[in-house]
Amino acid sequence: MKPLRLLQWLLGTLLGLGLIATTVAVIITPLIFGLLWAPPRPNVEVEQPLPTAQTETSPPTPSPAPVKQGRVTYAEGLRVRDRPDREAEALGSIDFEEVVTILERSSDGEWVKVRTQNDLEGWVLAFGIQEQ
């Protein structure tokens, strides 16, 4: 093989490999960096419900059941949803270490219905709440 042909082949091979490596890096880099950091927390405005007026003819309310308190142990906080489903609408969020009132558990035990200190009520994943 002539030296000029050998040089052309070598340069063509190196340029081809470099082009392939660059293309792969451009495609894979955003995927890798997207997996390294958690997505930003949603900034959800919470509308407070209007208080309802009770009439004098309403029956007396029964004594409340013992209140269970819990604390958010998931470092990134939890999303509060309108029903116990990962695809449910997000109503707001609860920060790490925030104390909540536990209202009920889902039948499968994966979800917990809670009320926050600012009266936001909804479902969160149970793994992020520790009962006190």
Q: How many CA atoms lie within 13 A of 131 on its CB side?
A: 9
The per-residue pLDDT for 64 is 54
CA-CA distance, 66 to 101, in Å (whole number)?
11
* Higher local confidence (pLDDT), 35 or 11: 11
Tokens 């909804």 identify what position?
122
Which string of DSSP letters, residue by residue, matches 49-114?
A: PPPPPPPTTSPPPPPPPPPEEEEE-STT-EEEESSSSTTSPEEEEE-TT-EEEEEEE-TTSSEEEE
CB under 8 Å to 99, separation ≥6 — which residues?
A: 69, 70, 71, 117, 132
Q: Tell me what the pLDDT averaged over the chain comes to.
A: 83
Tokens 């939890």 identify what position?
78
| Phi, then psi, of 19 in degrees rounded to 5 | -65, -40
- Looking at the predicted structure, is the pLDDT value of residue 57 above 70? no
The per-residue pLDDT for 48 is 62
pLDDT (mean) for 94-103:
92
Tokens 């955003």 identify what position?
30
**pTM (predicted TM-score):** 0.51
